[in-house]
Chain A
Amino acid sequence: MSEPQKNPQKILQIDHLTKKFPGAIALKDVSLDLIEGEVHALCGENGAGKSTLIKILSGIYPHGSYEGEIELFGQRVQFQNISDAQKAGIAVIYQELALIREMTVAENIFLGHEPRNAFIIDWNLLYSNARNLMQQFGLELDPAERVRDLGVGQQQLVEILKALSKKSRILLLDEPTAALAESEVEILLRIIRTLKERNITCVYISHKLDEVFSIADRITVLRDGKSIVTLPRAQTNKNEVIRHMVGREIQDFFPRRPTEAGPTLLKIEDLSVGEQGKQRPVLDHINLEVRAGEVLGLGGLMGAGRTELLMHILGLYGQRLGGGILVDGKPLVTNLPSEVIKNGLFLASEDRKRFGLVLTKSIGFNLSLASLKQFTRNKLIDHNSEMQTNQSFIKSLAIKAPNQETQVMVLSGGNQQKVVLGKALMTHPRVMLLDEPTRGIDVGAKVEVYEIINKLTAEGKGVILVSSELPELIGMSDRIVVLSNGRIGGVFTRKEATQEALMTAAMKYH
């Protein structure tokens, strides 16, 4: 079926695709083609229509729910469901991983199409198939390891193997690196290059333009549901792509406005934290402080203990082995999350679907959830003042939705993130713990998040900002503490911090 490399063949053709939702048009007359063996990047702000396009290609939105045609290998296809698309060779690697944590790597790879003898699963064949598949693509994983024991990056590989085991010809990768540390990103990009050599076509969605430019052959920019332009990578540059994405030039990408630092709000003294079943402490003698009006950046690789530190402060994770936490100079004696929050701390988690949102409920329900006491008179909620406050937050955060009764489930990633931040802001925390607040959201929304951080510090609040993106960390922090394998790898002022210095500090104890 595949022709020689020199004469690349169109593997997929999308013609005039339009997808309407009640009250909104997600895709407007989008046309696009994929050439066999290429990496085709889709760029665009949240809500530009990338996810909708992926959902149509993968059969989640069945034929008939959209207008336009899709041709695969020159033949018109009409997917009714995900399994139709999979049979045709199209597989999605999701932003949120869809693996069964208690099963082994091999079991996950062959889940749903286990090799069988009559009705009995042939376990030996299953494990040997898994091993063969890994060898074929140069991946090293233990097929018998449980997925829950793997890092996020390795889990991603399992997802990819799962797709390859189904003989997929086209992989749709939706923000595959959102949860990965830089080193893991490298591994993933290497694998995508291997896939390319095997003539597998990849559609690559990412907000990180560095990645896009290091891997993509062609880049298509979507904006407001329209395909704006398709550019060969060699003939374009980041600024041009950003310009097409936002329809404007972004001058001041990290608009941090430093403020005078006030008294210390939160102090971590010699804190050591362990986790059951782990020999070594997860956090080892950590010292740091956050002052009023200050953004403290927290850097480090995946697994360095950044998220664990924030979760431990909130009382959500680990066992205290030593040291303490002081709020306003007074020791924090409780480890009940509800009590910690009463002390003026609030965490906006990196995993917004797990820790941030009640997905099936409305925007309003989520925004006010942590602040209901503010609206409660005589034990009853005053719905009017609640709705007004919600409305003012929706307006000031520019959350795009028909109204505050809209389910958060249907919002784009950026708008969901704004709901999480809005919920946190409504509690008027004095120290805000932000764990990867800009993960998976688009350039425009990122700047809005930075503005929120500026506003917080201008009001004399303290912020801890965890970020895996070094330019963001350097651009937005007044001081940066880098964690390395559970210990402090280095402390930097804004001026001292360079990407190289931070990376070196992050690798110090690994």
Chain B
Amino acid sequence: MGRRHLACYKKGVHIQTKFSIRDFSIGIALVLIWISFAVSTDKFLGARNLSLLSIELAVTATLALGMLLVLLPGMIDLSVGSGVGLIGGIASVLVFRQHFPAPLAMLIGFIFGIVVWSLMGKLITGLRIPAFIITLGGLLVFKGVFWLVIRNETVPVTAGTQSNVYSLLTTYYFPKWIGYLLAALVSSALIFSKIRSRRQLRKHGFEVEDTEIMFMKLFISLQALFLAVIVMNQFRGIPLAVVILSALAFIVYVITQHTPFGRYLYAIGDNEEAAVVSGIPVQKIIVGAYGILGAIVALTGFMQTAYSGASTTTVGDLMELDAIAACVIGGTSLKGGRGTVLGVLFGALIMTSLLNGMTLLAVSPEMKFIVRGVVLILAVGMDVTLARKTT
């Protein structure tokens, strides 16, 4: 997003940075949710809870970013929740029962995810069966296989009390100085790339974003970054899971905005026939998107299982719906062709905040379901209404 919308104006045309309520609607919703939780319980904004929240966010958002890749070309994946349970379960069984080293177990999980999800992609594109059906089948099959694999038992992620790479995924925190170092590195990279891109644009005669607006945006983003690090450091430091999410978000951002593959995802979702006539190998691209999703499902599987401490029959339940909800709240179109990484991150943050806050307030599970459903409908309803007004 951002860059392509703001930077590329023809010479001589005055730059207009368009802001609409729509761009802010998710942000406003998020602030409202946070304020109401903060008023209800002072624990919500405590460093401990925010740290916990960030790990929960990391798990949900990771999966949602994978989902984005298949929603963009107009597909969907209902099987990711079961997949999270299954791949986490496989890795747990390998580590706990077969005594594989954790990295090897996880590698096997990754390969499994990539292969199985690519196969689903092949089924969808090759047989022209709607993704909804194939992945609904996947949901059921993976669930069954999952329970077979763990034999309906609880399988810990480590043997004994020692921690391993697997268990550390959601329990490791970076030392404080590394947190600051990371923040400093990220900020300088941001500033550097922004300046470089402006210089390039200027050099080639394209007009660039207003300096003040750019400065303001950078300033706000960097402040938010440092604030987050300071808060995290008040508890135990930056969780490893958050760094994993950041890296993944960066990778998915680059894929969607800076590679032909990503551009093709948008084109396919918007007008598949035009994409074919443009020479885009549509089937390959879709299979590729499912392949990447498979790897991300595996990663989420490890994180979610590690977060639960052990693989149990309920790990991954309904996560596909949280992932889809996060994407949609973040402005991703289920018809394909529209959606951004930043939007998905915000969407995931809304879903996670709701769940986290309600848990703090000891809201009953029944109410939790109802509230999440209502928020999903409200958020999308608001987005659609605003979209109509602005066009």
Contacts and interface: CB of A to CB of B under 8 A. Distances in A.
A372 B263 contact: yes
A347 to B, nearest CB: 6
Interface in B21-37: none
A338 B259 contact: no
Given A361-B266, A361-B270, A356 B277 contact: yes
Nearest to A427: B279
B339 interface: no
A291 interface: no
A349 B3 CA distance: 31
Interface string B259-283: 1100110110011011111111100
A381 interface: yes
A359 interface: yes
Given A384-B200, A403-B9, A357 B271 contact: yes
A342 B280 CA distance: 10
A269 B281 CA distance: 27
B358 interface: no
B4 interface: yes
A364 interface: yes
B143 interface: no
A354 B273 contact: yes
Interface size class of A (residues with CB under 8 A): 35 or more
A391 interface: yes
Max chain B Cβ within 10 angstroms of own Cβ: one of A370, A380, A383, A391: A383
A354 B278 CA distance: 12
B9 A355 contact: no
A404 B8 contact: yes
Interface string A127-141: 000000000000000
B337 interface: yes
Contacts, number: 99
A388 B260 contact: no
Contact of B267 (A337, A358, A364): A358
A423 B275 CA distance: 12
Contact of A347 (B8, B270, B277): B277
B274 A405 contact: no
Contacts of B276: 316, 337-338, 355
B204 A349 contact: no
Given A358-B274, A369-B267, A404-B10, A336 B260 contact: no
Nearest to B15: A403
A403 B10 contact: yes
Given A370-B279, A405-B9, A357 B263 contact: no
Interface in A353-406: 354-362, 364-365, 369-370, 372-373, 376, 379-381, 383-384, 387-388, 391, 402-405
Contacts of A346: 279
A443 B274 CA distance: 26
A370 B275 CA distance: 8
B281 A336 contact: yes
Contacts of B10: 391, 402-404
A26 interface: no
A349 to B, nearest CB: 6
B260 A316 contact: no
Max chain A Cβ within 10 angstroms of own Cβ: one of B204, B267, B279: B279
A370 B278 contact: yes
A362 B7 CA distance: 13
Contacts of B260: 372-373, 376, 381
B13 interface: yes
A318 to B, nearest CB: 15
Interface residues of B, number: 32
B343 to A, nearest CB: 16
A314 interface: yes
Interface string B240-262: 00000000000000100011100
B201 A384 contact: yes
Given A372-B260, A384-B200, A388-B204, A358 B277 contact: no
Contacts of A354: 271, 273-274
A458 interface: no
Nearest to B262: A381
A403 B9 CA distance: 6
A338 B267 CA distance: 14
Nearest to B277: A355
Contact of B259 (A355, A359, A361, A379): A379
A382 to B, nearest CB: 9
A341 interface: yes
A383 B263 contact: no
A360 B270 contact: yes
Contacts of A342: 279
Nearest to A429: B279
Interface in B277-299: 277-281
Given A347-B277, A356-B274, A381 B259 contact: yes
Nearest to B270: A358
B206 interface: yes
A380 B280 contact: no
B128 interface: no
Interface string B198-239: 001100101000000000000000000000000000000000
Contacts of A403: 8-10, 13
A355 B280 CA distance: 12
Nearest to A407: B391
Nearest to A372: B260
Contacts of A338: 276, 279-281
Going nearest first, the 3 A-B pairs with the smallest beta carbon separation are A341-B279, A372-B260, A403-B10
14 contacts: A349-B277, A354-B274, A358-B267, A359-B270, A359-B271, A360-B338, A361-B267, A370-B279, A376-B260, A380-B258, A384-B201, A391-B10, A391-B206, A427-B279
Given A356-B274, A376-B259, A380-B258, 12 more contacts: A337-B279, A355-B276, A369-B263, A370-B280, A380-B254, A381-B258, A381-B260, A383-B4, A384-B204, A403-B9, A404-B8, A405-B9
